[in-house]
Amino acid sequence: MIDEPGPWGTGPFTLVQGASSILTRHAVMSPNPYTASWLIESEDRSAEVVLEANLDHWNRAERGPRVQRAVFRNDLSPSQALELCISGDGEVDIVTEVSPADAERVRTSQYARLITADANRVLTCIINRGRTDVPLDSVDVRKALNLAVDRRRIVEDGLAGYANEIPAMTPSWCSGFPEGATPYPHDPDEAKRLFEKGGWPTGRPIRIATPMAFVGIAQLIGDDLRRSLGVAVEVIRVPEENALAGSRALVEKKLDLPWDLLVHAWFDLSSEAPPAAVHREFFGRDGAFRAGPPDPGFDELFARMAVELDGARLVRVAEDIDRYCFDNALAVFLCAPQALYAVNNHVSFGPYRTTFEIAEVTVDEGHWSRQPDMAQPAGPGSPPADAANWDKPGFAGAAGNAC
């Protein structure tokens, strides 16, 4: 959150115009020991946020910045930004968080190209282990849910192939990935056997809640559960206006949650120790996304990792944590969605697995900013009307950033 321009910025750049701040709501999980999370209630962004190169940056020769000025446009919706990027030069050079549903449009553009990155992200289903009318505290039932889901179909049909299957919560490129780990297979027969063994009550549907961005994914999961387990499934769409209240109920854990499974995405800013930012949030005693009682086995492993100073031993306990989550089927594990970018053909951009970085961005001689007749941006005209965008699969429904 940066409230005003000043002598600060990202290091390679300095903020010279505009601001981007957020207002948060405090969600208390435990007064003693005090544990809380802060939910974004609203955003206050100026129409443009302008960064200029920090020419005194200590690592400029090695890393950058390579461009003099970058403008983030907050006055465009994601669909408007994408349209301007792929239909002309001079308005938008990079669009983040492109939906897989739009990837082909970018690939066929004469002005831009699609850049993909295996990112530190997970898409999963939280299992509400606190339900009292269904046996979601049963490992057999949770394994049945995992065996019932065809992950390949979710990746191919739900995300147009722009995702990687993962066994549990750690992508294969991160430290802490257990060697030889493989995802649960799609095994409807074994799924049905374990589901019936677990004693799911006859006639009780499985209720899957989902934010609007992942409705299509939830429907694919629902289809698999119906076919594999012979059970009715209800998909509950959570409108954007109800998302904050729903998030608060999940974080504070005071109210009964009205769902059995929740399609949920999360990310990690580091590849070094994923449980610190991912597993703990979903399963830890102080995890914002934990649904159900604390898991003593998980908390014991995490406590060991939290005080481990030796790098090699830290990786081993991180592997143990990921393996524990898999063996106990603490979630319905799905995949790691890729990060997709639309990038102007005259812009060189290399994605990171973690954050959006532009220090190394360069432009070639054909870029609009280097053309004598295009001193000012000259795109294809007024932005198009914002299209209905909610049914496109995305990452956490995040708005695209354009610069």
CATH number at residue 24: 3.40.190.10
Residue whose pair of structure tokens reads 């854990």 in the numeric block = 253
Range of the domain at 325: 121-338
Both 346 and 300 in one domain: the answer is: no
Integer Cα distance of 222 and 231 in angstroms: 10
Same domain (yes/no): 349, 239: no
219 and 81 inside one domain: no
Pairing outcome for strands 339-344 and 347-348:
unpaired
Domain shared by 241 and 109, yes or no: no
Q: State pLDDT tens for residues 88-123.
A: 999 999 999 999 999 999 999 999 999 999 999 999
Q: Note whether 318 and 347 are same-domain residues.
A: no
Residues 215, 66, single domain; the answer is: no
User: How far is Cα 121 from Cα 340, in angstroms, rounded to an integer?
Assistant: 12
Q: Are 157 and 33 in a shared domain?
A: no
Residue at 220 is within a domain:
yes
Each residue of 350-400: pLDDT tens digit?
999 988 889 899 999 999 999 887 655 544 444 434 433 445 666 544 333
Q: Mention every residue, 6+ apart, whose C-beta is less than 8 A from residue 112.
A: 85, 86, 106, 342, 343, 344, 345
CATH number for 181: 3.10.105.10
**pLDDT tens digits, 43-75:** 899 999 999 998 888 888 888 899 999 999 999
Closest CA to 323 of 277, 281, 274: 274
Token reading at 379: 């795109």
Q: Are residues 214 and 325 in the same domain?
A: yes
Domain total of the chain:
2
- Considering the domain architecture, whether residues 49 and 138 belong to the same structural domain is answered as no
DSSP string, 264-298: EEEE-S-SS-GGGTTHHHHHSTT-TT--SS--HHH
Query: For residue 254, is it within any domain?
Result: yes
Q: Is residue 383 part of a domain?
A: no
Same domain for 45 and 81? yes
Do 333 and 344 fall into the same domain?
no
- Asked whether residue 238 falls in the same domain as residue 312, the answer is yes
User: Both tokens of residue 366?
Assistant: 């054909």
